[in-house]
Amino acid sequence: MSSMEATMLYVVNTENAHEHGDVMPQIYRLRYRQFKERQSYDVPVYKNMEYDQYDTVATVYLAWLDDSGILRGCSRLNPTDRPYMLQDLWPHMVNGPLPRSCSVWEGTRICIEKALPAELRERIKIEMVLGYLEFGLDNRIEKYIGVMQNFIWKRVFVHSGWDIQYLGSECLIDGQKIHAGEGLVTPATLQAIRLKNGVQNRVLSNFYHANSSRVSELAS
């Protein structure tokens, strides 16, 4: 992956979404195609947009936009110092106490446009994984947690170079093997994934400081 390629991954939330056109409805529409149409999740929908109670003003999204401003990949991040999905829906999947801290965030709803060429999908996947880590280091996040199918943990995170630890036993939900897991956020992890995947520079195109609510664009 060449360091000369333009970065297109943004940190987006309620405060700065207006800077990126119609990115918010695009996120919900991509999720509708991924999770409602393709996987038949039992989730709220409205005008071909998927959302739930964990899309709040505290939510941060990673949004990968192409040159035309079309969303091609996204993920949702929430701090665990307020209600979050793992705690509310699947606490039995974690051995031990569940976190409730602004230094531990939950990652959910990661998806990439299915119709894209495999090479571009791979690039978006790697950059979103790096985006998790860059945003985490920017905001003093110690780790991410989440509930995902085993193949998602492996294909997206482990194969990218992130050491994921499972937090409890495997569960079977709607025929899918599911685990709760966590990934630590460290400079060493970020550097190792950059090295493994041939990425030299930062992939996030903006800074968002979750505690101070300060947003700044990177110098071009």
* Residue 217, in any domain of the structure: no
pLDDT exceeds cutoff 70 at 178: yes
Please give the average per-residue pLDDT across 87-111, as a whole number.
Answer: 96
Half-sphere exposure (CA, 13 Å, Cβ side) for 108?
21
Give a yes or no: residue 96 inside a domain: yes
Handedness of CA 37, 40, 42, 43 (dihedral sign): negative
Give all strands (DSSP E) within 33-87, no chain letters: 45-46, 49-50, 60-65, 71-79
Looking at the 3D structure of the chain, how many domains does it have? 1
Q: Evaluate whether residue 1 is within a structural domain.
A: no
CATH of the domain at 99: 3.40.630.30
Determine, yes or no, domain membership for 3: no
Q: What is the pLDDT of residue 216?
A: 55
Res 39: pLDDT: 87
Q: Tens digits of per-residue pLDDT, 111-148?
A: 999 999 999 999 999 999 999 999 999 999 999 999 99
Query: Is 220 within the bounds of a domain?
Result: no
At 180, give phi and psi (nearest 5°).
-85, 140
Residue 214 located in a structural domain: no
99 belongs to a structural domain: yes
Q: What is the pTM of this model?
A: 0.92
23 part of a folded domain: yes
Q: What pLDDT score does 174 carry?
A: 76
83: containing domain: 9-201
